Amino acid sequence: MKMLLRYLLACTVLSSSAAWASYLPSESQAVLGFDVANVAPEEGLLKSFAIEFAKGWGVEDVLEAAEAAGADVWRVSQSQVDVYFPTEEIYSLSRFNGSDLAQRTSRIPGSALVPRVARAPSSSWNLTSLSNTTFHADYHPLHEIEEFVEALAALHPEVVQLVNIGHSAEGREMFAMRLSKNTGKKAKAKAGFVITGAQHAREWVATSTVLYLIHALVASASEPYAMSTLLDYYDFHIIPVPNPDGYVYTWEHDRLWYKNRQILGPSEKNWGYKWKAKARFPEFELENKPSLPTDPCTPWYPGHRPFESPETNNIANYVTTLPALKTYIDLRAYGQMLSTPWAYSCKKTTKDAEDQIEAAHGAARAIKQAHGKTFTAGTLCSMTYKAPGNVVDWMYAKAGIKFAYAVHLRDTGTYGFSLPSEWIRPVGEETVNMIAFLAEFIRMGKYCESPPLRRFTFGSREALRRFLTESGAFTKTGEKPKKTDIRWEDEPGQEEGEDDEAEEEEGGGG
């Protein structure tokens, strides 16, 4: 009990001390914990460190140096680590200053991390048109998001149904949207498509993008980037704000807040598949250094048990009630990646790996048709780091969703989490292309080769099918691509340890 009280006290005064700063996104460092309602931060530096060919620098070296400097790690991969320095002085006093480590620098103005106060009234949104609405020109706080979905439900009662799925740790109502042309009580369920917005609170572009997708699904089929024709074949189940407490906190207190607001556990690594009480991450596996203690105040504490987070529990309970699920998309930022299971292991692959990765490569090509942005595809572990208890693994292994993906949206480290609002619509449009491709690829049930690169806007199901079938985009029915076409980014020789037990025959509902 005394230990628990000490943890509670430490978590209550998160911004008062940086003594236990972690390698990854920190909520404890005072310099990062500014109150966005009252204090604008100084101009910061976002440094992208290229470590793939660096001499004397590995991932762990960069993470240790970032911790020592009191900086905030924004992104970790096998070849790049992005570190945010709130002030230039913090960088100048760090080990990075003067090093020969290859780096790219972006200056993040303090104003980019402070929400705009002056906002257009909802009466000016014009939600009857996807192309002409002003709603997708800016990021929105939670109360405006709720107003947006309620307005769409009122405009399209024959398609949109709002579902209460529970309450957050701070008591906020959590909701899902069911978008379907099956409105009758006896209507037959179609194939299910689940999409979640930003589970990590500060990834605002994931929230704005899921709202754009919702709008595209109810928009007139004659509009560019409308997806309403997909409702002929799919029921969409969308959770726009899976972390309402954390999202509100990024608007009212700390723009860079990462997890939910539950003191004893976050939601993002709290899913009940391969969950570990002491989750192992690359940044905690330093040579000749003992493992760091599990601290419930850190962003990476996985909780006392799986599904301890009410947000995670609510989503899992809701998803298990849905029939015929084929696809799951977890929208994130940033990195421009489409990632498949597994997250818990960098050596294991799923029994559906060929189908998953082939669809991902095709989806990446579809994304590029919109605005020319390149996305990479691979397993979540190999493209980021080991993450036991990850939502994508659970959706595949336990919910039986064959095509489960984490999608890291724009960009690759120029703006990071401070992506300008003028990019909201382009990101939404290219994500529409991705969803439309995956939906048709899965519905047709064939293997797909990469289609030729050219600009293409999916305005209808027929247009999408032309995109898929032109120039031999599909192989003969049942013909699988050569294994050499699949690009894996496994770490040779990595020790998987105790979580490399034989894989259960789970996952993939077919």
Q: What is the pLDDT of residue 334?
A: 97
Q: What is the pLDDT of residue 51?
A: 87
What does the DSSP 8-state code read for residue 470?
Answer: G
The overall average pLDDT reported for the chain is: 80
CA separation for the pair 383, 400 (Å, rounded): 23
Cα dist from 308 to 244, 269, 292, 342, 389, whole Å? 16, 10, 22, 22, 12
The strand order across the sheet containing 234-239 reads 160-167, 173-179, 234-239, 191-196, 325-332, 403-408, 337-340, 376-379
> Where residue 116 falls among pLDDT bands split at 50, 70, 90?
confident
Q: What is the pLDDT of residue 379?
A: 96
39-53, 359-373, 441-455 — which is least confidently predicted?
A: 441-455
Q: Taking 70 as the threshold, does the pLDDT of residue 448 lie above it? A: no
> Where residue 267 falls among pLDDT bands split at 50, 70, 90?
low
Q: For 122-488, which CATH class?
A: alpha beta
Structure tokens at 395: 């959706």
Domain definitions of the chain by residue range? 2-113, 122-488
DSSP reduced 3-state for 408: strand
Q: Taking 50 as the threshold, does the pLDDT of residue 456 lie above it? A: no
Q: What is the pLDDT of residue 186?
A: 62
CA separation for the pair 192, 286 (Å, rounded): 42
Q: Taking 50 as the threshold, does the pLDDT of residue 28 lie above it? A: no
| Backbone phi, psi, residue 163, to 5° | -125, 125
Task: Tell me whether the omega of the peptide bond preceding residue 342 falls within 30 degrees of 0, making it cis.
Answer: yes
Mean per-residue pLDDT, 437-460: 61
Interval 164-193: pLDDT, tens: 999 999 999 999 999 999 766 666 779 999
Q: Taking 90 as the threshold, does the pLDDT of residue 396 lie above it? A: yes
Interval 400-442: pLDDT, tens: 999 999 999 999 999 999 999 999 999 999 999 999 999 999 9
pTM: 0.81
Q: Taking 80 as the threshold, does the pLDDT of residue 344 lie above it? A: yes
CA separation for the pair 93, 377 (Å, rounded): 37
Beta-carbon count within 10 A of 482 CB:
7
Q: What is the pLDDT of residue 462?
A: 58
- Residue 230, amino acid: L
Cα dist from 386 to 43, 352, 499, whole Å? 32, 20, 11
Q: Taking 70 as the threshold, does the pLDDT of residue 363 lie above it? A: yes
Q: Taking 50 as the threshold, does the pLDDT of residue 3 lie above it? A: no
> Where residue 23 falls among pLDDT bands split at 50, 70, 90?
very low
Q: What is the pLDDT of residue 29?
A: 34
Q: What is the pLDDT of residue 40?
A: 64
> Where residue 123 falls among pLDDT bands split at 50, 70, 90?
confident
